[in-house]
Amino acid sequence: MISNYASNILKILNKHKLLSFLMIAFVFVTLLILGFTVDIQQITEKTAIKYEETYGNKAFFYTGESLSDNIYYRYLEDNNDKDFHKLLQFKNKLINSDSFLYTELIEQPLEIINYEIPEIFLVGYESGNSSINKYDGNDSYATKALIVSHSFFEEFSVEVSDGNSFSEEDYLFSEDKEIPLLLGSAYKESFKIGDKFKGYYYLEEKTFIIKGYIKEQSFFFSRSDYDFVSCERYMIVPSIKVEKATEFSKILLLQQMRGMISSTLGYEQTLEIYKQYLSESGIKEWELYIVNPNPETYSVLEMYTAMTNEVSHQFNIMVFIILIFGCITMIIVICGMLKENHFIFGVSLLCGASFRDIVFETLGLVGSILLSGDLLVTLTMLLQSAKPVSFLIVQAAVIIITTISCTACVLYLKRMDVSDIIGGKE
């Protein structure tokens, strides 16, 4: 009997070759869209959760310096180690604070000499003003770079995909040492780990060596853009720790006052703590500042969460629409097929087939179309390494569409009048 069902189903499919093929293709495309929509939804939700976990209700405040000439030149005097150590003490207080996280984050171009850097990595590329300068007859490429402390990686969950991250040693200054670099993922096609080139680091010519690549989809909060910016086109340079009061280290230390504080305490309270550290370090009167760049900082983060939630919500609507669309199309086409095979079903009933026999054949027809599409989608999703949740949702969708389509078919068959086979209504 089962072979008879199978034979009948194959005959109907064969009779409607083109329609069957189109339906399988439709099921395939519908389920594929559903699968990938769910996949994207998962990524979006994950991103939303990551944002929430990473930033929560944190706010970012910028720090900087605008020392008066008087203090600045006194600080740079050769015989003035005292002010250097005061400032170093202040910086250490910021770094070791239990109240907030201080990150040295200086967006400063790296001038790379005589080493051709693709234009997309140069400062001003986006505005069409990428700068290639001449220094002492050499080409100098102003490359986008971030000078960062160790906490940068923790603060923005930035990870290294290839090569190694910065070690403790990489943050220590040495005249002869090459300065390690981590490159954004977009650099992968242009450089390889171990490549060396010369460039300027705080106006001193240094040799740089590529140590690794930053993972794709890594972002940092840019003080110039006041937004999250991808790391993919940036070179990441370690912010050197200084201890001895040389002219170079004094300049470096002062530069390192330009950073970012992330805090959950709010601006006023964070400012109080900042001032307290200044006071404790004996530099209360120095023009070192902390600013709340935008009082709506919280809103930005909320906006990101809201955006991802909205996208996720829209994906849910899409999934729902796809399901409804799939069901309706399936029902229309299958009922069309049943209508065309009304005669065969009628003859079968006259020959002693039960209603159940006809229903089984019909359900087999629905199942064979849906399962063929499902099989193709499953294989495609396996090849595309889709997420397990997407597989489950696609299978659930197949079950839902099958159930609804089969119910509609059974209702249709129940209403089918085969009396016309032997003469019709009179």
Partner 1 sequence: MLKLENISVTYGRKDNTFNALENISLNIQEGEFLTVTGKSGCGKTTLLNVVGGIRKPGRGSYFFENENVLAFSDKQMAKFRNLNISFIVQHFALIQDRSVHDNIALPLIYRRMPRKLIDEKVETVLKSVNIDSKRNKYPFELSGGESQRVAIARAIVTEPKVIIADEPTGALDEETGHIIINILKELNKSGKTIILVTHDLELAEEGTRKICMRDGRII
List residues near partner 1 by CB under 8 A: 1, 4, 11, 14-15, 343-344, 346-357, 418-419, 421-426
Q: How far is CA 242 from CA 92, 246, 283, in A?
A: 11, 9, 19
Count of H helices and E strands in the chain? 11, 15
Query: 388 or 424: whose CB is closer to partner 1?
Result: 424
- Please state the closest distance from residue 2 (CB atom) to partner 1, in A: 11
Query: 168 or 426: whose CB is closer to partner 1?
Result: 426
Query: 107 or 361: whose CB is closer to partner 1?
Result: 361
- Asked if 132 and 139 count as a contact pair (C-beta separation under 8 A), the reply is yes
Query: 13 or 370: whose CB is closer to partner 1?
Result: 13
- Please state the closest distance from residue 20 (CB atom) to partner 1, in A: 14
- Please state the closest distance from residue 347 (CB atom) to partner 1, in A: 5
SS (H, E, C) 85-132: HHHHHHHHHHHCCCCCEEEEEEECCEEEECCCCCHHHECCCCCCCCCE
- The runs of H, that is alpha helices, within 225-354 are 247-255, 267-280, 297-340, 342-350
Query: 76 or 349: whose CB is closer to partner 1?
Result: 349
- Asked if 141 and 111 count as a contact pair (C-beta separation under 8 A), the reply is yes
Query: 283 or 409: whose CB is closer to partner 1?
Result: 409
Query: 39 or 361: whose CB is closer to partner 1?
Result: 361
- Please state the closest distance from residue 403 (CB atom) to partner 1, in A: 22
Q: Which of 149, 118, 344 is nearest to 232 (CA)?
A: 118
- Please state the closest distance from residue 27 (CB atom) to partner 1, in A: 24
Phi and psi based region of residue 320 (left: phi greater than 0; alpha: psi -120 to 50; beta: remaining): alpha
Q: Residue 337 and residue 257: Cα distance in Å, rounded?
A: 75
- Please state the closest distance from residue 355 (CB atom) to partner 1, in A: 4
- Asked if 208 and 197 count as a contact pair (C-beta separation under 8 A), the reply is yes
- Contacting residues for 180 by C-beta, under 8 A, at least 6 apart: 166, 170, 208, 209, 210, 211, 238
- Please state the closest distance from residue 411 (CB atom) to partner 1, in A: 15
- Contacting residues for 291 by C-beta, under 8 A, at least 6 apart: 61, 62, 63, 64
Query: 415 or 425: whose CB is closer to partner 1?
Result: 425
- Please state the closest distance from residue 343 (CB atom) to partner 1, in A: 8
